[in-house]
Structure 1
Amino acid sequence: MQRYRIYAVISSESNRTVTQTINMIHRDLVISCQKGERKAFRKVYDLYSKAMFNVCIRFMNDAEDAKDMLQEAFSYAFLRIHSYRFESSFGAWLKRIVINTCISEIRRRKADLQFFDDMNHFDDREEEPELEESKLSVEKIKEAMSVLPEGSRMIFNMYLLEGLDHGEIASFLGINEATSRSQYLRARKKIKDVIAFNELEFQA
Structure 2
Amino acid sequence: MVEQGLIRAAQSGDRDALITLLREIEQQVYRTAYYILNNEQDAHDAAQEALIRVYTKIDSYEEKAQFKTWVQRIVTNICIDKFRRSKPTVSIDEHEMVFQGKENVERQVMSTYLAQDIQEAINQLPDHHRSVVVLRYVQDLSYSEIADCLDLPLNTVKSYLFRARQQLQNLLQDYQKGGVSG
Taking structure 2 as the reference length, what is the TM-score of the superposition? 0.65
Q: 1:84 to 1:176 in 2, by over 3 A?
A: closer
What's the offset of the Cα at 1:56?
A: 0.9
The CA distance in 2 between the partners of 1:94 and 1:165, in whole Å, is 16
What's the offset of the Cα at 1:170?
A: 9.3
Query: Match of 1:117?
Result: none
Query: Match of 1:47?
Result: 24
The CA distance in 2 between the partners of 1:191 and 1:82, in whole Å, is 40
Candidates 47, 50, 65, aligned match of 1:70:
47
The CA distance in 1 between the partners of 2:136 and 2:130, in whole Å, is 10
What's the offset of the Cα at 1:102?
A: 1.3
The CA distance in 1 between the partners of 2:169 and 2:65, in whole Å, is 35
Once the two structures are superposed, the pairs formed by residues 1-204 of structure 1 within 5 Å of their partners are 26-109=3-86, 139=115, 141-162=118-139, 163-165=141-143, 168-169=146-147, 172=150, 177=155, 181-201=158-178
Name the larger-Rg structure.
Answer: 1
Taking structure 1 as the reference length, what is the TM-score of the superposition? 0.59
* Number of equivalent positions: 153
Q: Which runs of 5 or more structure 1 residues have no equivalent in the other structure?
A: 1-21, 111-135
Q: Which runs of 5 or more structure 2 residues have no equivalent in the other structure?
A: 88-110
What's the offset of the Cα at 1:97?
A: 1.3
What's the offset of the Cα at 1:177?
A: 4.4
Does the 8 Å CA contact 1:167/1:177 hold for their aligned counterparts? no
The CA distance in 2 between the partners of 1:41 and 1:74, in whole Å, is 11
Sequence identity percentage: 24
- Kindly report the root-mean-square deviation, in angstroms, between the aligned alpha carbons of the 2 structures: 3.4
What's the offset of the Cα at 1:40?
A: 1.9
